[in-house]
Amino acid sequence: MELLVASAIGVMTAVGIYLILRQRTFPVIVGLAMLSYAVNVFIFASGRIKIGFPPILNKYAETSYTDPLTQALVLTAIVISFGMTAVIVMMALGSFLETGDDRIDMTDKTDGEDA
């Protein structure tokens, strides 16, 4: 199971980095989302989640518990990444409406030559 989760994290990270390096805004947004999903799964897996156990200690039962800190961190990261994605989508939409294209242009146009 750990191999499957580690492979999924590695694939999501690789796909996210590949998409971030693209020259269009939509793949960059999807790549950032994929990278944030990979980080969330990594944090969630690092907490050693136990199926069927409560997230808090019970003084009447001798059962173990799952760590609630990683669950809280992932929930917070999901909310932050959703807000970040919404802001980036609005910036990309404004750029598309202003220029008519979603291409990320990294060339310097101050030298007087038209690209």
* The token pair that represents 22 in the structure block: 């693209």
**Which pTM does this prediction carry?**
0.75
Helix then strand then coil, % of the chain, to nearest 5: 65, 0, 35
Q: Measure the CA–CA gap between 50 and 74, rounded to whole angstroms.
A: 16
Summarize pLDDT for 59-96 with one digit per residue, the tens.
Answer: 776 677 777 788 889 999 999 999 999 999 999 999 88
Task: Report the SS3 class of residue 112.
Answer: coil
Residue type, 52: G
Summarize pLDDT for 18-46 with one digit per residue, the tens.
Answer: 999 988 889 999 999 999 999 999 998 88
Q: Is 9's pLDDT higher than 90?
A: yes
